[in-house]
Amino acid sequence: MSANNLPFLSVFLLLSLLRFDSIPVLEAAAGKLGSIPGVYVFGDSLVDAGNNNYLPFSLAKGNYPHNGIDFPKKKATGRFCNGKNFADVIAEKIGLPLPPPYLSLRGLLKWRKRESAAVTGVNFASGGAGIFDGSSQFPGQAIPLSQQLKHWLSIHKALTRKLGRSKAQIHLSKSLFVMVIGSNDLLNYIRSSQLRRKSSPQQYTQSVVDRFKAQLKETGARRFLILGVAELGCMPSRREKNSTTHECNKEANMLASLYNKALIKMLQQLKEELKSSMAYSYFDMFNSVHDIVSNPAHYGTLRINYSDR
């Protein structure tokens, strides 16, 4: 997702969490919060904890002012926000350490830190990532979900070595897997005339959801927190530039709505397939952000600048 839009959605994501009281919803998916032993995070810029900082050729990094000003050292951490992101807040609410970026754990000298993080949680998210590998605008700019899942396998091995196979399975059955992804795939469709010629919005969103379903199965996890995409047409770069009121782009919002409907249906089907072994919570970002935009007075005096940065 373009860096121009990140502060906009990051702020709304945190406000949505607080306003709509999603923690009880988490309890529905994962039981009592104190019983969740680990949080594993997959996704895009909304939950990237700094993985993109370790990509040598990536320009999609959150190291610009005033990111990080609410961290102790008041320096950018690679998160695309001023402090903790959505996944950090979830881990903190549960009572766990902030999941460190996976790429910060690589190397022979970091094996102890790696094994420790494997137990409490790791963040695999990458700004610009998508469900499809080609969703980022340029090669090498992000870690797609397919690669994030390969990284997860290495952490799974580290966890198994530390706890043993049986205890690791029990641990993962109680852990929470946070998935915040899909926006970049939809933005890629909007940008690409070739994709629009090949498939209709309905066909494309269904193909994204089908791929996501297969990837959810690959995790081997059974407890998920999954976010739908927000009103993409209301991001700064998608608003109607020729309009004096800078209205939201209806086409982009329609695509997001189609995707969310297909996602909800897919999750229901997947739960039926896996029967009682799967629990999930779906967080409605689309309507949450819409409520914040439509009723700003309910959320205090925060001002959002809708112009592109």
Q: Residue 309 domain-assigned?
A: no
State phi, psi for 270 to the nearest 5 degrees.
-65, -40
Q: Residue 176 domain-assigned?
A: yes
Spatial contact of 221 and 172, defined as CB atoms under 8 Å apart: yes
Q: Residue 97 domain-assigned?
A: yes
Contacts of 295 (CB under 8 A, 6+ apart): none
Q: Residue 45 domain-assigned?
A: yes
Number of domains in the chain: 1
pTM higher than 0.85, yes or no? Answer: yes
> Could you list the residue range(s) of the whole structural domain that residue 165 is in?
33-299
Q: Which residues pair with 223 in a beta bridge?
A: 279
Q: Residue 18 domain-assigned?
A: no
Per-residue pLDDT of the chain (309 residues; tens, 9 = 90+): 444 444 445 545 554 554 444 555 565 555 556 689 999 999 999 999 999 999 998 888 888 878 888 887 888 999 988 889 989 999 999 999 999 999 999 988 899 999 999 999 999 999 999 999 986 666 678 999 999 999 999 999 999 999 999 999 999 999 999 999 999 999 999 999 999 999 999 999 999 999 999 999 999 999 999 999 999 988 776 666 556 666 888 899 999 999 999 999 999 999 999 987 899 999 998 888 777 777 777 766 554 443 333
CATH number at residue 149: 3.40.50.1110
Number of C-beta neighbours around residue 154 at 10 A: 15
Cα angle value 189/193/194 (rounded, 5°): 90
Structure tokens that stand for 126 in this block: 């990458």
Spatial contact of 47 and 184, defined as CB atoms under 8 Å apart: no
Quickly list H helices, 141-200: 145-163, 165-174, 183-191, 193-198
Q: Residue 191 domain-assigned?
A: yes
Of 304, 197, 182, 191, nearest to 249 by C-alpha is 191
